[in-house]
Amino acid sequence: QSVLTQPPSVSGAPGQRVTISCTGSSSNIGAGYDVHWYQQLPGTAPKLLIYGNSNRPSGVPDRFSGSKSGTSASLAITGLQAEDEADYYCQSYDSSLRWVFGGGTKLTVL
Protein backbone atom coordinates (compact mmCIF):
# COMPACT_ATOMS: atom_id res chain seq x y z
CA GLN A 1 0.00 0.00 0.00
CA SER A 2 1.41 3.34 -1.07
CA VAL A 3 1.92 6.25 1.33
CA LEU A 4 0.17 8.60 -1.11
CA THR A 5 -3.27 7.49 -2.32
CA GLN A 6 -4.33 7.85 -5.95
CA PRO A 7 -7.34 6.42 -7.79
CA PRO A 8 -6.29 3.31 -9.75
CA SER A 9 -7.87 4.57 -12.94
CA VAL A 10 -9.59 7.52 -14.57
CA SER A 11 -10.96 7.96 -18.06
CA GLY A 12 -12.26 10.64 -20.36
CA ALA A 13 -13.17 11.33 -23.95
CA PRO A 14 -10.93 13.38 -26.25
CA GLY A 15 -11.26 17.07 -25.49
CA GLN A 16 -12.59 16.53 -21.99
CA ARG A 17 -11.03 17.48 -18.65
CA VAL A 18 -9.93 14.91 -16.09
CA THR A 19 -8.43 15.23 -12.64
CA ILE A 20 -6.29 12.83 -10.64
CA SER A 21 -6.17 13.18 -6.88
CA CYS A 22 -3.29 12.42 -4.55
CA THR A 23 -4.02 12.16 -0.83
CA GLY A 24 -1.33 12.14 1.80
CA SER A 25 -1.06 12.85 5.50
CA SER A 26 0.39 15.21 8.07
CA SER A 27 3.85 13.67 7.67
CA ASN A 28 4.17 14.41 3.96
CA ILE A 29 1.87 16.69 1.94
CA GLY A 30 0.23 18.10 5.07
CA ALA A 31 3.65 18.90 6.52
CA GLY A 32 4.21 21.36 3.72
CA TYR A 33 6.34 19.26 1.40
CA ASP A 34 5.81 19.88 -2.29
CA VAL A 35 4.03 17.48 -4.62
CA HIS A 36 5.40 16.46 -8.00
CA TRP A 37 3.79 14.54 -10.84
CA TYR A 38 5.20 12.12 -13.40
CA GLN A 39 3.85 10.71 -16.63
CA GLN A 40 4.87 7.19 -17.64
CA LEU A 41 3.98 6.20 -21.18
CA PRO A 42 3.77 2.44 -21.84
CA GLY A 43 7.19 0.81 -21.83
CA THR A 44 9.08 3.99 -21.01
CA ALA A 45 10.70 5.66 -18.01
CA PRO A 46 8.75 8.18 -15.93
CA LYS A 47 8.95 11.79 -17.05
CA LEU A 48 8.57 14.84 -14.80
CA LEU A 49 5.28 16.54 -15.59
CA ILE A 50 4.70 18.99 -12.70
CA TYR A 51 7.16 20.06 -10.00
CA GLY A 52 6.70 22.15 -6.90
CA ASN A 53 2.92 21.56 -6.84
CA SER A 54 2.07 23.61 -9.92
CA ASN A 55 5.11 24.27 -12.09
CA ARG A 56 5.57 22.82 -15.57
CA PRO A 57 9.02 21.94 -16.90
CA SER A 58 9.91 23.35 -20.29
CA GLY A 59 8.12 21.45 -23.03
CA VAL A 60 5.14 20.29 -20.99
CA PRO A 61 1.89 21.61 -22.52
CA ASP A 62 -0.19 24.02 -20.47
CA ARG A 63 -3.04 21.49 -20.70
CA PHE A 64 -1.41 19.96 -17.62
CA SER A 65 -1.77 21.76 -14.30
CA GLY A 66 -1.26 20.93 -10.65
CA SER A 67 -2.55 22.18 -7.35
CA LYS A 68 -2.16 21.41 -3.66
CA SER A 69 -4.33 22.04 -0.64
CA GLY A 70 -3.96 20.70 2.87
CA THR A 71 -3.02 17.02 2.75
CA SER A 72 -4.00 16.56 -0.91
CA ALA A 73 -2.95 17.51 -4.40
CA SER A 74 -4.49 17.23 -7.85
CA LEU A 75 -3.36 16.93 -11.43
CA ALA A 76 -5.72 18.32 -14.06
CA ILE A 77 -5.53 17.57 -17.76
CA THR A 78 -7.68 19.63 -20.10
CA GLY A 79 -8.32 19.07 -23.81
CA LEU A 80 -7.62 15.36 -23.40
CA GLN A 81 -5.68 13.79 -26.27
CA ALA A 82 -5.06 10.16 -27.21
CA GLU A 83 -1.33 10.66 -26.52
CA ASP A 84 -2.13 11.45 -22.88
CA GLU A 85 -3.01 7.80 -22.25
CA ALA A 86 -0.43 6.78 -19.65
CA ASP A 87 0.19 6.08 -15.98
CA TYR A 88 0.48 9.12 -13.71
CA TYR A 89 2.26 9.18 -10.36
CA CYS A 90 2.35 11.78 -7.61
CA GLN A 91 5.42 12.07 -5.38
CA SER A 92 6.31 13.97 -2.25
CA TYR A 93 8.66 13.83 0.74
CA ASP A 94 7.77 12.20 4.03
CA SER A 95 9.37 13.15 7.34
CA SER A 96 9.81 9.46 8.26
CA LEU A 97 9.98 7.54 4.98
CA ARG A 98 11.72 10.22 2.89
CA TRP A 99 10.73 10.18 -0.83
CA VAL A 100 7.29 8.62 -1.37
CA PHE A 101 5.06 7.93 -4.37
CA GLY A 102 1.41 7.37 -5.01
CA GLY A 103 0.33 4.00 -6.34
CA GLY A 104 -0.24 5.42 -9.80
CA THR A 105 -3.32 6.19 -11.88
CA LYS A 106 -3.96 4.72 -15.31
CA LEU A 107 -5.54 7.28 -17.63
CA THR A 108 -7.63 5.85 -20.44
CA VAL A 109 -8.70 8.09 -23.32
CA LEU A 110 -12.01 6.72 -24.55
Partner 1 sequence: EVQLVESGGGLVQPGGSLRLSCAASGFTFSSYSMNWVRQAPGKGLEWVSYISSSSSTIYYADSVKGRFTISRDNAKNSLYLQMNSLRDEDTAVYYCARDGGLRSWFDPWGQGTLVTVSS
Q: List residues binding partner 1 (CB under 8 A).
A: 2, 33-34, 36, 38, 44-48, 51-52, 57, 89, 91, 93, 97-104
* Nearer to partner 1 among residue 12 and residue 103 (C-beta): 103
Question: How far is CA 51 from each of CA 36, 55, 108, rounded to the nearest angstrom?
Answer: 4, 5, 23
* Nearer to partner 1 among residue 13 and residue 45 (C-beta): 45
Q: How far is the CB of 45 from partner 1 (least distance, A)?
A: 4
Handedness of CA 21, 22, 25, 26 (dihedral sign): negative
